[in-house]
Amino acid sequence: MNTGKALETKRLVLVPGNNARDDEPFINMLRNDGNFRDFCGIEFSEKYLAEFRNYFERTGHDECIYSIFLKGSDRFIGYVGFHRERNLDYEIEFYISKSERRKGYCEEACKAVMDLFFSEGVSVDHTRISGRKLYATTLSDNRPVMQLLSKLGFTENIPEDGKALIMEGFVDEETDEFFGYCVAKYVLVREEGDSGDSTIS
């Protein structure tokens, strides 16, 4: 859970995620935006949508979620944050409302939280977390996200033995059905003393 302070950029206010405030707007976005598969790899259903309830204040997951608001507005437009994978790598994640895309908001928000992660660190369950390396995962056919990651400085994380097809998925415990999808993995390494391109436009 994000136990840090709010951040401000040129156009945005990023505040620690709050279930009571942000849960319903987020669920409505996922239900109505029409790209549930792009976000999580499976086709929409109310059953899978329910997995994202109470997403913003989970503890014990090494997650740090910032909810995104336009300056001067109390309307939730998305989120950006980090979580820790099973291999202990930190991965960035984000979602912006369909109505607010292609305006640079996601890039602006990502840069702000990435700069914090790479410098003084973010507060997760009252513990300061920072690092020099961030990862990202997206569906291999999600071109807009791949382009955004490239703009943020990420590069495709290609194995030493060459590009490989990466499959991820899960098994539905009720139906025993396997859902698989192809993903692309990205990495960003921030060297010591490298402040990165923190210009927010």
CATH of the domain at 160: 3.40.630.30
Model confidence, pTM: 0.88
pLDDT confidence band for 103 (50 / 70 / 90): very high
Domain assignment of residue 201, yes or no: no
Domain assignment of residue 29, yes or no: yes
Domain assignment of residue 194, yes or no: no
Domain assignment of residue 16, yes or no: yes
The pLDDT value recorded for residue 201 is 28
The dihedral built from the CA positions of residue 98, 188, 200 and 144, taken in this order, carries a sign that is negative
Domain assignment of residue 200, yes or no: no
Above 80 in pLDDT, residue 168?
no
Please count the structural domains in the chain. 1
Give the count of alpha carbons within 13 A of 146, CB side only: 12
Per the prediction, the chain carries an average pLDDT of 89
Domain assignment of residue 45, yes or no: yes
Domain assignment of residue 34, yes or no: yes
Q: Give the structural domain span for 43.
A: 7-189
Tell me the pLDDT tens digit for each residue of 55-67. 999 887 789 999 9
The pLDDT value recorded for residue 193 is 58
Above 90 in pLDDT, residue 11?
yes
